[in-house]
Amino acid sequence: MKKFSIMRKSILFLLCAFCNFYFLIAKPISLVDLRCENLINPIGIDNLAPHFSWKLKGDSIARQQSFEIQVATDSVLFDKGKADLWNTRIHSSASVMVPYQGASLR
């Protein structure tokens, strides 16, 4: 019985050590290839309901579970975290051609 307890603790210790090692070497995840209507940094968009796309760069086993797109009428509002036109807060793995569903754009 005591041998089983020692073995169990050893396995638990090794598992914790492996998890800690993995998270120390895991690469940070970043967004790349940000697009609006399939354009990178568009100057003007004539679509009143544009589509957004992006890619994740980083650890190959990382998967997107949710995303948040914020759209504001003014960069000052945006910097304050006040997206007055649209704030998605969506739990979805979608990252290609996500349609705008906020207040009407002018």
DSSP-derived letter for residue 84 is S
Task: Tell me how far apart the 2 most distant CA atoms of the chain are, in Å.
Answer: 74
User: Which residues lie closer than 8 Å to 81 by C-beta, 6 or more apart?
Assistant: none
DSSP-derived letter for residue 87 is E
pTM reported for the whole predicted model: 0.68
Fold for the domain defined by 28-99: Immunoglobulin-like (2.60.40)
Q: What is the pLDDT of residues 76-96, one digit of tens each?
A: 888 888 888 888 888 888 889
DSSP-derived letter for residue 82 is -
**Residue ranges with strand state E in 17-95:** 30-36, 51-57, 70-71, 86-87
Residue type, 48: L
Q: What is the pLDDT of residues 11-64, one digit of tens each?
A: 666 565 555 555 556 567 888 999 999 999 988 888 889 999 999 888 767 788
